[in-house]
Amino acid sequence: MSPVTALTYVLPHRLLSSMARKLAYSRNPRIKQWLIDTVIHKFGVDMAEAAEPDPRAYPSFNAFFTRALRPGARVPDADLRALLMPADGRISQCGPIEDGRIFQAKGQSFTAAELLGDAASAAPYANGLFATVYLSPRDYHRVHMPCDGHLVETVHVPGRLFSVGTDAVASVPRLFARNERLVCHFETEFGPMVQVMVGALLVSGVETVWSGIEIPPYGDRITRKEWRDKNIRLERGAEMARFNYGSTVITLLPPGVAELAPQLHAESPVRLGERLATLTG
């Protein structure tokens, strides 16, 4: 464990994230432009892909961070049997859920029940598949649907806000099941599917297309919202949610419905709309 990761155990996670949020939403021209220019140059952000390519046109850093893509910047896999990659980024890990456990890194794992907030919700995914996608500061920060889905329920699970960088993932036990997160349950043509929006240190905001900002406020208990009767249906490839200042999305699939794309492995760079998995039914 690096000294920086060790330090995060004692840092005031929520206070630091709240301070970062204020900076991200600042409309002070000098502050917001310094933040935008720093990220563009440090991480090599390709502004040619953005609907608004002018970095100075964004009213705040968060507006830049959650920027839309220009039409045609991402083309979804044309095979309708393909489940789509939900975001730009890189694969942290992917593979089978083995006896209800999800692999995090060498020597680290957590249970689907811990991730989703209860055992009953996790039961359909025992021995299913998972993919964890890390979104870096250079990436497009909106999350889209792998397939058509009917929103059933969201669950806000309170927690810490550890970094989700490589060292932290390798050394913080059960990291993704400890961080604050929004669990989004869907019904699809092949059964249940879940997408988990995981917050992180300094990058803890989550907003959905159906209800707006969900996190913050940060939670002190598990909060469930029932959406089954609201008739919220999202099409394959449609925007689902966004990170107001970045992080990680985890997709869970039930067993026997799909096979992960064979080229995917830890640290694979991925782009929205590429093949995540192929339906087998």
Q: What is the pLDDT of residues 110-144, one digit of tens each?
A: 999 999 999 999 999 999 999 999 998 889 999 99
Beta bridge partners of 111: 101
Sign of the dihedral defined by the CA atoms of residues 267, 133, 24, 39, in that order: positive
Cα–chain center distance at 250: 6
Q: Is the pLDDT of residue 179 over 80?
A: yes
**In which region does residue 256 sit, left (phi positive, over 0), alpha (psi from -120 to 50) or beta (all else)?**
left
Tens of pLDDT along 43-57? 999 999 999 999 999
Q: Is the pLDDT of residue 97 over 80?
A: yes
The predicted structure's pLDDT at residue 41 = 96
CA distance 67 to 60: 11
Residue 198 corresponds to which amino acid? V
The predicted structure's pLDDT at residue 48 = 97
Higher-confidence residue of 163 and 231: namely 231
Q: Is the pLDDT of residue 1 over 70?
A: no
Q: Are 237 and 144 in contact (CB under 8 A)?
A: yes
Tens of pLDDT along 61-84? 999 999 999 999 999 999 999 999
Residues acting as catalytic residues: 88, 144, 247
The predicted structure's pLDDT at residue 106 = 83
Strand duo 212-215 + 205-208: pairing:
antiparallel
